Chains A and B, each alone.
Chain A
């Protein structure tokens, strides 16, 4: 069975601080995909990134960066110089051939 753990239920930081959202996963599959989604208060689910299990290179996209470490089964997400618009619930998800398994989400609050 697949499992995704986001241990941080809620994080609150002041604008311009850096913040890291943790994600730990469990799977028996040798090929799998990891995702991050953002869900702002409006409710839509916004795709942020997909990473496959064979690619452990870290990725940077603007203020966002992702650290994939297979040895620790982690796929952490860092926002640099956070902004109020980053306030949302962030979900980490694990994908196989049969849909996605989501973590419980981390509610990120960026205070001005």
Chain B
């Protein structure tokens, strides 16, 4: 199984600022996914990050708000831009070859926006 780390583990941010979350995997993976879990809610897929191409965003999520980078096969970043209190959530990255294989999740980044 892949070992996934995320930085930061948590942060408290001011409205209007941006935060970049890092996801590091201990092995090369084809696809990486970013999910959001709002307080008391389930997980929702934000986007799929493929190395060498632009991220693919789900309905309701846009690149200007959640820009994603995938510079290599072991690393990705998600930026939450121009934050508002509604962005307070846990953000998780996940890895899996195609989304249909065993998908393991990072420990999550707990974001609070004041």
Contacts and interface: CB of A to CB of B under 8 A. Distances in A.
Interface of A: 31-33, 35, 37, 43-45, 47, 50, 52, 91, 93, 95-105
B99 A98 contact: yes
Contacts of B96: 95
Contacts of A31: 100
Interface string B69-107: 000000000000000000000101010101111111101
Nearest to B58: A99
B99 A95 contact: yes
Given A43-B110, A45-B92, A96 B100 contact: yes
6 contacts: A35-B103, A45-B105, A50-B101, A95-B96, A99-B58, A100-B43
Contact of A95 (B1, B90, B100): B100
- Contact residues of A: prevailing secondary structure: strand
Q: How large is the interface on B (under 10, 10 to 19, 20 to 34, 35 or more residues)?
A: 20 to 34
A105 B38 CA distance: 13
B90 A43 contact: yes
B17 interface: no
Interface centre among B48, B92, B100, B107 (most CB of A within 10 A): B100
Tell me which of A37, A45, A96, A99 has the highest count of chain B C-beta atoms within 10 A of its own C-beta: A99
Contacts of B104: 47
Contacts of B100: 31-33, 52, 95-97
A49 to B, nearest CB: 9
Nearest to B41: A104
Contact of B103 (A32, A100, A105): A100
A28 to B, nearest CB: 15
B42 interface: yes
A59 B110 CA distance: 34
A10 to B, nearest CB: 12
